[in-house]
Amino acid sequence: MAEQELNQANSRLVRRLLIATVAMFGFGFALVPLYNLMCDTLGLNGRFLDIEQGKYEVSSGPMAQVDNTRVITVEFLANVGRDTSSEFRPMVHKIQLHPGEIKEVSYFAKNLSTEGMIAQAVPSLAPGKAVKYFTKMECFCFNKQPFDAGEEKVMPLRFFVDPDLPKDVSTISIAYTFFDITKNEQVNTGRSELASAQPVLPRTSVSH
């Protein structure tokens, strides 16, 4: 190849490879929404789903027949997030119920700091395949919870387990992590949030 020709060929190739580099850098970030999409569509990772949007066919509502032939154990767990100065625990650790039966349990939370805080409980459910059959009618995790300094709260969780729950699931564990999001709330005020940084979990709908 003549020198000029070679120079042209090189710059053309370099340009293409640089575009590929930038595209792959973008792909790294695209993995974030892709990951969330995968988890939500496939119901992985114990994330909670938009059942009310009709993505899943859950055959029965709370009025459906209670399946007395099965007993499901539901375990309640609690974790306190880092830098969160609070007490947080379930009032009962374990209950047994029949699919279709509505139950209400409570979590206790207390702000141990001397300042007010806004808290958010983030749920995680295992096994993942039970996620779409665990329907919350009311949950403290639907909303951000404001606390005054030293304030205590007993917070309700009302739910039922859909009778379509796969036969091999007999125990469901639900874990809440209690985060102090006061700082995030301040940071996020007045600027557009990054798509990926948006809190996914505060859901106000009660049809969960």
Where along the sequence are the contacts to another protein (CB under 8 A)?
Answer: 1, 3, 6-7, 9-11, 13-14, 17-18, 20-22, 24-29, 31-32, 35-36, 39, 42, 44-45, 81-82, 120, 122, 126, 128-129, 177, 179, 181, 184, 187-188, 194, 196-201
> Which is nearer to another protein, 19 or 154 (by Cβ)?
19
Give 35 or 104: the residue with its C-beta nearer to another protein: 35
Of 68 and 198, CB closest to another protein: 198
Type of residue numbered 206: V
Residue type, 33: P
CA pair distance 160, 163, nearest whole angstrom:
9
Give the span between the Cα atoms of 31 and 192, in whole angstroms.
21
Nearest to another protein of 14, 154 (CB atom): 14
CB of residue 163 to another protein, shortest distance in Å = 22
Determine phi and psi for 144, rounding to 5 degrees: -70, 140
Q: 99 and 70 in contact (C-beta within 8 Å)?
A: yes
Q: How far is the CB of 4 from another protein (least distance, A)?
A: 9
8 or 68, CB closer to another protein? 8
Give the residue with the Cβ less far from another protein, 17 or 154.
17
Residue 187 DSSP label: H
Burial class of residue 36, CB neighbours in 10 A (0-12, 13-18, 19+): middle
CB of 172 to another protein, least distance (A): 15
User: 165-189: string of b/e by CB count within 10 Å (b at 16+)?
Assistant: beeeeeebbbbbbbbbbbebeeeee
3-state SS, one letter per residue, for 126-167: ECHHHHHHEEEEEEHHHCCEEECCCCEEEEEEEEEECCCCCC
